[in-house]
Amino acid sequence: MKDLFAKIYKDKGPLGKWASQAEGYFVFPKLEGEISNRMKFQGKDVITWSINDYLGLANNPEVRKVDAEAAAAYGSAYPMGARMMSGHTDLHEQLQNELAEFVGKEASYLLNFGYQGMVSTVDALVSKDDIIVYDVDSHACIIDGVRLHMGKRFTFKHNDIESLEKNLERATKMAEQTGGGILVISEGVFGMRGEQGKLKEIVALKKKYNFRLFVDDAHGFGTLGATGAGAGQEQGVQDEIDVYFATFAKSMASTGAFIAADKEIIDYLKYNLRSQMFAKSLQMQLVVGALKRLDMLRTMPELKQNLWKIVNALQSGLKERGFDIGSTQSCVTPVYLKGSIPEAMALVKDLRENHGIFCSIVVYPVIPKGLILLRMIPTASHTLQDVEETLEAFSAIRTRLEDGTYKRVSAKLMELMGE
Ligand SMILES: Cc1ncc(COP(=O)(O)O)c(C=O)c1O
C-alpha cells in the first residue's frame, strides 16, 4: 500500500512545482512598509499595483485610528463564540442594517471570511433536487460551494448568455423532473480580467426561465455604481439580484464579508450557514472598523472619484501606447503580452529591479500558454506620477520583450526548468 504522502513528495502540484524558482520573489513576495501606492520590496522602493485597497482606506489615518481604538477597547477576542450562541452584539446588527441599506436590500448578514461565507451560502441555498448553473470562470470560493452541492450543476461559458440560456433550458427540464429550483451564480466583476458579469442580460432571462440569481461582487462593491453599491447598481439591476455578496477585503481594506437579500432569505440563511453557525463571530474590532469604512464610502464620494481618475489615466495611457488590456470594464487592469514563462519571469524581474514597479504576474495554466498577464489594481492612493512612471516602464519592457532581451536573459532559467 502507498504512503499517503508519496504523491506529495513526488508532485508539488501545478503551482507548487515552480516553488524553487519562484518562491519569495514571484510568489510569496514580502512587501514591506505602510500599505500604500509605494512600498518596499527586498529593500527597494516600488510602486505597488497588486493590492486590492481600491479606495486607499488601508492606511487612512482616520481608519487606522478607529481600528486602533476598537482594538484597545475590545481586544481581538470579543465577542467569543459563534453568532448564534454567544457572539452576537448590537454593533453586528447595526453594521448589517447599514450594509443592507447601502446595497439596497432588506437585510444583510455578516460573514467572518468571504471565502467560507460564499461556500456556505451556495451550500445553504440549494438542496439535492435543485440545480446550479454557474459561470465557468467563477472564483474558487464559488466552485468550492458548488462542490458541496449533492444535486446537478451546469457551467456556462464565461459571460456567454447564449451558453447560459442553453444550460438554463437543460436545467429547467431537469428541475421539472426533480421538483427542485435553479440557482444561477455569476460575479459582479471577474477579478482576473476585469470584465463585469453580464448581470443585465442574465436578469433579462428571468422573464423566460424560473431561477434565482446569486452574485459575488467582491470587486464591484465600493468601486462601481453611482453610490458604490456595486455592479448591480451600475447595470441598473440591483433589485433583481436575489442574493448579493461582497467582501470587506477589497474596497473596505479589512477582513470579513456580507450577504444581502430579502429579509426572509437572510432569516433563513442565518440559521443555515454552516460556516457561521459553527465558527467564531466576526471580531468586534473588524465590525467597528467596517462601520467606519462604510461611513466613509457613503459620505466621501471623492474616494471613488480619485480611484477612477487613476483607473482612467492608467487604462487610457496603456491603450494609447498600444497595449492590449483586454475587455476590462472595471478597475482591474490586465496587460496581455506574448511570451514564455521564463520570459515573463525575466520581464517581471526587470520591472521590479530596474523600474521600481511591482505588479502581479499571471501565466499558464491560469491563462492560455504563451500569454503573460500583468495584472494591475489601481487605487485611490496612487498618483498621476505613479501612472506616468509605470507607463514609461511598460513601454521599456515591451521593447526588451520584443527585441529578445528577455529570451536571452531567461535562457538559463529555461535550461533549469527543462523547457
Ligand atoms: C471574487 C471573490 N470572491 C470572494 C473572495 C473571498 O473573499 P475573502 O478574502 O473575504 O475571503 C475573493 C477574494 O478576496 C474574491 O476575489
- Residue nearest atom 7 of ligand 1, based on CA coordinates: 114
For ligand 1, whether the C-beta of 51 sits within 6 Å is no
The proportion of the chain whose per-residue pLDDT surpasses 90, expressed as a percent, equals: 90
The proportion of the chain whose per-residue pLDDT surpasses 70, expressed as a percent, equals: 98
Q: Is the pLDDT of residue 41 over 70?
A: yes
For ligand 1, whether the C-beta of 102 sits within 6 Å is no
Q: Is the pLDDT of residue 130 over 80?
A: yes
For 332-381, the pLDDT digits (tens) are 999 999 998 889 999 999 999 999 999 999 888 788 889 999 999 999 99
- In the sheet with 371-376, reading across from the earlier edge strand, the strands are 333-338, 371-376, 360-362
CATH 3.30.450.20 fits 61-299, yes or no: no
Q: Is the pLDDT of residue 416 over 80?
A: no
Q: Determine the 3-state secondary structure of 160 from DSSP.
A: coil
Q: Is the pLDDT of residue 243 over 60?
A: yes
The secondary structure of 64-122 as a DSSP string is HHHHHHHHHHHTTTPSPS-TTTT---HHHHHHHHHHHHHTT-SEEEEES-HHHHHHHHH
Q: What value does the mean pLDDT take over residues 147-166? A: 98
Binned at pLDDT 50, 70 and 90, residue 140 comes out as: very high
Residue 348: what residue type?
V
- Ligand 1 geometric centre to CA of 415 (Å): 37
For 286-304, the pLDDT digits (tens) are 999 999 999 999 999 999 9
pLDDT of amino acid 20? 81
Phi/psi of residue 27, each to 5°?
A: -125, 155
Domain residues of the chain, as ranges? 6-54+302-417, 61-299
State the closest ligand 1 atom to the C-alpha of 250, by its place in the atom list counted from 1: 14
Binned at pLDDT 50, 70 and 90, residue 409 comes out as: confident
Decide if 386 contacts 37 (C-beta within 8 A): yes
Phi/psi of residue 275, each to 5°?
A: -70, -20
* Positions of E strands within 297-345: 333-338
- Ligand 1 geometric centre to CA of 154 (Å): 22
Task: Please name the residues in contact with 141: beta carbons below 8 A apart, sequence gap of 6 or more.
Answer: 114, 115, 116, 118, 119, 216
State the closest ligand 1 atom to the C-alpha of 187, by its place in the atom list counted from 1: 1
For ligand 1, whether the C-beta of 115 sits within 6 Å is yes
- Residue nearest atom 10 of ligand 1, based on CA coordinates: 114
- Ligand 1 geometric centre to CA of 110 (Å): 14
pLDDT of amino acid 133? 98
For 295-330, the pLDDT digits (tens) are 999 999 999 999 999 999 999 999 999 999 999 999
* CA–CA separation, 407 and 347 (whole Å): 10
For ligand 1, whether the C-beta of 284 sits within 6 Å is no
Average pLDDT of the chain, as a whole number: 95
Instruction: Measure the CA angle with vertex 186, ends 95 and 158; round to 5°.
Output: 150
pLDDT of amino acid 418? 56
- Ligand 1 geometric centre to CA of 249 (Å): 7
pLDDT of amino acid 419? 53
* CA–CA separation, 252 and 171 (whole Å): 37
pLDDT of amino acid 13? 82
* Positions of E strands within 297-339: 333-338
Q: Residues 264-300, buried b or exposed e (16+ Cβ, 10 A)?
A: ebbeebbeebebbeebbbbbbbbbbbbbbbbebbeeb
- Ligand 1 geometric centre to CA of 149 (Å): 20
Tell me the three cell numbers of residue 32.
Answer: 514591506
Q: Is the pLDDT of residue 252 over 90?
A: yes
For 59-106, the pLDDT digits (tens) are 999 999 999 999 999 999 999 999 999 999 999 999 999 999 999 999
Report H helices in 113-215: 114-125, 140-148, 161-178, 199-204
pLDDT of amino acid 148? 98
- Nearest Cα neighbor of 131 from 111, 151, 114 is 151
pLDDT of amino acid 365? 78
The CATH H-level (homologous superfamily) assignment of domain 6-54+302-417 is: Aspartate Aminotransferase, domain 1 (3.90.1150.10)
For ligand 1, whether the C-beta of 187 sits within 6 Å is yes
pLDDT of amino acid 414? 65
State the closest ligand 1 atom to the C-alpha of 247, by its place in the atom list counted from 1: 10
112, 133, 174, 261 from 146: Cα distances, Å: 20, 9, 17, 20
Instruction: Measure the CA angle with vertex 258, ends 225 and 274; round to 5°.
Output: 150
pLDDT of amino acid 380? 98
Tell me the three cell numbers of residue 216.
Answer: 459575488
Q: Is the pLDDT of residue 126 over 80?
A: yes
Q: Determine the 3-state secondary structure of 156 from DSSP.
A: strand
pLDDT of amino acid 413? 64
Burial of 376 (0-12, 13-18, 19+ CB in 10 A): buried
Ligand 1 probe mutation, 216, 219, 247, most atoms within 8 A of CB? 247
The secondary structure of 209-278 as a DSSP string is S--EEEEE-TTTTTTSSTTS--HHHHTT-GGG-SEEEEESSSTT-SS-EEEEE-HHHHHHHHTT-HHHHT
- Nearest Cα neighbor of 344 from 241, 284, 419, 267 is 419
DSSP secondary-structure letter at 130?
A: -
For ligand 1, whether the C-beta of 216 sits within 6 Å is yes
* CA–CA separation, 299 and 55 (whole Å): 13
The torsion of the CA quartet 269, 271, 272, 274, rounded to 10 degrees, works out to: 110
